[in-house]
Structure formats: C-alpha cells, structure tokens
Amino acid sequence: MTTVSSTGELPLRNEHDIVLGRQAVRRMAQELSFSLVDQTKMVTAASELARNALIYGGGGLLKWAILQNGGKRGLRLTFEDQGPGIADIDLALTDGWTSGKGLGLGLTGARRLVNEFELDSKPGAGTRVTVTRWK
Amino acid sequence: MGEFLLVTIQVDMHDQLALILQDDLTKAIEKQGAKGVLIDISSLEMVDSFIGRMISDISGMARILDAKTVVVGMQPAVAITLVELGLSLTGVATALNVERGMQLLRRALSESNDDSFINR
C-alpha cells in the first residue's frame, strides 16, 4: 500500500517558476537518495511537464508528494493547468507531434523518464499529468 | 582563443535566457569572424528538449555563418537522460572536454583551409 509522507505545491506562472520547480524536484530527489541518473531523469521530466503547463495550459500548479510503499520510497509530481485541454490524447502521446512550436518530445519524452505516467485531460477542462519515480 | 569563441554555461537557464544566449552568440560569431564555437556545458545538471534544441540551433546557425560548433563536457547522467528523452543532438559535434574540443576545432579549421570550397 502506498502512503504519502509529505506534500507541497509550487505555482507555475512563468519561466522562472520552471527553474524553481526543477530545483525543488532536484532537492527532493536528492533527499530520497535517488541515483544521479534518476535525479536527472526526474528533473528533466519535471522541466518538460512544467513548460507544457505554462505554454499550453497558460500556467498552473506543480504538486509534489513523497511516497512510501513498503520499503520503497518515491516521488510523485502532478502538473495541473486550467488550459484548453487535449482533444486527442493518443495523438498528444505520439513522438514528434506538437500543437505548438516545440519538438513534440515533452509528453512522450517525460513518459520515458519516469516509472509511472498518467494523463487526464478533456477539451475545456484543463490537463493533469502525474508522474512517479521510485527509488 | 584566437578565432574561436568559448561559451561556458554555468547557470540553470530559464528559456528566455537560452534564447538570448543564442542571439548573442550568433551576433558574436558574425562580429568577430569566429571560425569555431566551443560550448562548455559541464556545469549543466540537466538538458531538456528546450535547451537541447537551443544547442542544435546554435550549431546550425553557426554552420551557416561558416563556424563550427563543438559542445563539450556533457555529464554522463545528462547524456543518458537526453537520449532517453528522445534527443540525440544529430549534427552537433561533441567532445569530452575543452582540450579535446579545441583539438577538434583546430583540425576542422586546418582541413577547411586546405580545400575551402570543397568541404564546407
């Protein structure tokens, strides 16, 4: 059973918040004794998803939670925005597809960098992406 | 550095700052007639798709301005993450450290001096 030992949130209003989000995720991953590669993967995934929330969602929130499951500890990050949402989730999860000016690697790339990935979105109802990495 | 520009990125850049660097660097290549650009990213703890694209774009723009770009010092954890993310920095020359990057630039420059019309 997974229990949550601590939580918090950070706003994603501008590009500086993306940097602050990356730094906060790095600190938490270090506190959880993630390997350097795992830290880097989680920070990079966070950077992609925070930028998506800002650019496509018009800003939002990064919520974090430290998880405990038996002897395992993990970090769960949720990126929420109240933007236009994603009409075609399958298309959005296709490598190289982008609705904007990006490379189309944000969502698909972030998914490859984490252990668990969940995407909830409806047109007009915003987008929520949840990613988890276990130690 | 002679004909080469050395850029060391030492801060966690926000996106706008990365674009400013790209702009400044292309201007500097033109103004100084630089034939090579060495970008040291050994202090960078993360390269996401935005920074990755900036590095590719700088390399492409520099090439059009007749300068070769070499990216040096990428941390192994960053390289592993970058490839898993889906970015392989195709077309960007890389070297392990500044010294080897300089060698690469010097060699490329002496080759292009030998047959300047053929190989660029």
**pLDDT computed for residue B117 by the predictor:** 53
Q: CB distance A51–B15 less than 8 Å?
A: yes
Is residue A110 scored above 80 in pLDDT? yes
**Residue A101 contacts B, CB cutoff 8 Å:** no
Q: Pick the residue with more confidence: A1 or A115?
A: A115
**pLDDT computed for residue B67 by the predictor:** 95
Q: CB distance A40–B50 less than 8 Å?
A: no
pTM: 0.92
| Nearest-angstrom CA–CA distance, A132 and A78 | 9
Contact present, B51 and B13 (Cβ < 8 Å):
yes
Other residues' Cβ atoms within 10 Å of the Cβ of residue B98: 16
Q: Residues A22-53: pLDDT tens digits? A: 999 999 999 999 999 999 999 999 999 999 99
Q: CB distance A113–B81 less than 8 Å?
A: yes
**pLDDT computed for residue A75 by the predictor:** 98
Range(s) of the domain holding residue B92: 4-114
CATH number at residue B88: 3.30.750.24
**Residue A102 contacts B, CB cutoff 8 Å:** yes
Q: Where are the domains of chain A?
A: 2-134
Q: What six digits make up the tokens of A64? A: 């974090």
User: 3-state SS string over B45-88?
Assistant: CCCCHHHHHHHHHHHHHHHHCCCEEEEECCCHHHHHHHHHHCCC
Closest alpha carbon within chain B to A110: B85
- Looking at the domain assignment, is residue B119 inside a domain? no
Contact present, B38 and B7 (Cβ < 8 Å):
yes
- The predicted complex's ipTM stands at 0.90
DSSP state, A100? Answer: S
- Looking at the domain assignment, is residue B65 inside a domain? yes
**pLDDT computed for residue A134 by the predictor:** 97
| Nearest-angstrom CA–CA distance, B71 and A39 | 23
Q: Residues B2-28: pLDDT tens digits? A: 589 999 999 899 999 999 999 999 999
Q: Residues B62-118: pLDDT tens digits? A: 999 999 999 999 999 999 999 999 998 988 999 999 999 999 999 998 887 765 555
Q: What six digits make up the tokens of B99? A: 């010294």
With beta carbons under 8 A apart, name residues in chain A contacting B19.
none
**35-64 in chain A: CB under 8 A from chain B:** 36-37, 39-41, 43-44, 47-48, 51
First to last CA, chain A: 16
Is 3.30.565.10 the CATH number for A2-134?
Answer: yes
Give the residues across from A12 on adjacent strands.
A60
The alpha-carbon gap from A104 to the nearest alpha carbon of chain B, in Å, equals 9
Q: CB distance B77–A106 less than 8 Å?
A: no
- Helices B49-64 and A36-55 cross at an angle (nearest 10°) of 80
What's the domain count of chain B? 1
**pLDDT computed for residue B90 by the predictor:** 86
Residue type for position A37: V
**pLDDT computed for residue A100 by the predictor:** 66
Other residues' Cβ atoms within 10 Å of the Cβ of residue A129: 27
**pLDDT computed for residue B120 by the predictor:** 44
Q: Residues A57-100: pLDDT tens digits? A: 999 999 999 999 998 999 999 999 999 998 888 888 888 777 76
Contact present, B46 and B82 (Cβ < 8 Å):
no
Q: Residues B25-59: pLDDT tens digits? A: 999 999 999 999 999 999 999 999 999 999 999 99
